[in-house]
């Protein structure tokens, strides 16, 4: 489910960026992004489920006659769990930004506070999640393992996270002009980053199930947007 959600989320984000670049109606662009954000959040939570259900039962847990789905568990000692949780938090920050984008009449300060800041924090979360995923794949080191599909999932998603960061920086609304720093970078950076996440989801779907490989799950032998 995580891979499908990231493919859908990445595809819709790419479509939203393309529509924005082509000058489509703002409401259509915002709705496309919002639906894409829902799938990113779904993929982020599905990544957490993959981690917690792949973990060994706690020694103190009561014996059970059968395997039951766990919807949450606190496993901070596991790097893949931290990666998945940070990724999910990032998708929720994106959601704040995407919902705020529907507001009208915002001042530059309000726009930066309700749209740009949550978006940037979400991008940082995606980047951090991807770094943790790289460490997980590399057994504690950031390394290149081109023979592993898992590594490709993480690497492609991490590239997408970098592109999202660049797009986010360019989206800052300058108070003096009430315009973004560079609309072209915003749209094409978002488009390219979203495509990376969609590709990562496709690769993940043909790899064996993992948690955070977007992810930017993302995004892992145990195991991720944006």
Q: Each residue of 124-134: pLDDT tens digit?
A: 999 999 999 99
Task: Place 57 in a pLDDT band, splitting at 50, 70 and 90.
Answer: low
Burial of 96-131, coded b for 16+ CB within 10 Å and e otherwise, reads bbbebbeeeebebeebbebbbbbbbbbbbbbbbbbb
Higher-confidence residue: 142 or 27? 27
* DSSP states of 33-87: HHHHHHHHHHHHHHHHHHHHHHSPPPTTSPP-SS----S----TT-HHHHHHHHH
What would the pLDDT profile of 156-209 be if each residue is shown by its tens digit? 999 999 999 999 999 999 988 888 999 999 999 999 999 999 999 999 888 764
């Amino acid at each position: 489910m995580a891979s499908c959600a990231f493919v859908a989320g990445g595809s819709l984000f790419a479509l939203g960026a393309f529509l924005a670049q082509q000058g489509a109606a703002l409401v259509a662009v915002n709705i496309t992004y919002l639906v894409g954000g829902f799938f990113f959040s779904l993929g982020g939570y599905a990544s957490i489920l993959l981690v917690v259900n792949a973990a060994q039962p706690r020694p103190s847990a009561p014996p059970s006659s059968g395997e039951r789905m766990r919807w949450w568990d606190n496993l901070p000692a596991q790097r893949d769990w931290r990666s998945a949780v940070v990724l999910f938090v990032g998708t929720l920050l994106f959601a704040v930004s995407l919902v705020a984008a529907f507001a009208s009449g915002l001042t530059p300060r309000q726009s930066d506070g309700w749209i740009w800041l949550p978006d940037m924090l979400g991008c940082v979360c995606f980047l951090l999640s991807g770094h943790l995923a790289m460490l997980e794949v590399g057994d504690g080191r950031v390394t290149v393992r081109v023979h592993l599909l898992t590594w490709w999932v993480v690497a492609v998603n991490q590239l997408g996270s970098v592109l999202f960061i660049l797009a986010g920086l360019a989206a800052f609304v300058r108070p003096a002009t009430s315009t973004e720093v560079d609309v072209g970078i915003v749209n094409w950076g978002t488009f390219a980053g979203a495509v990376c996440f969609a590709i990562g989801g496709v690769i993940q779907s043909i790899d064996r199930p993992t948690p955070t490989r977007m992810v930017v799950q993302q995004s892992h032998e145990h195991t991720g947007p944006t």
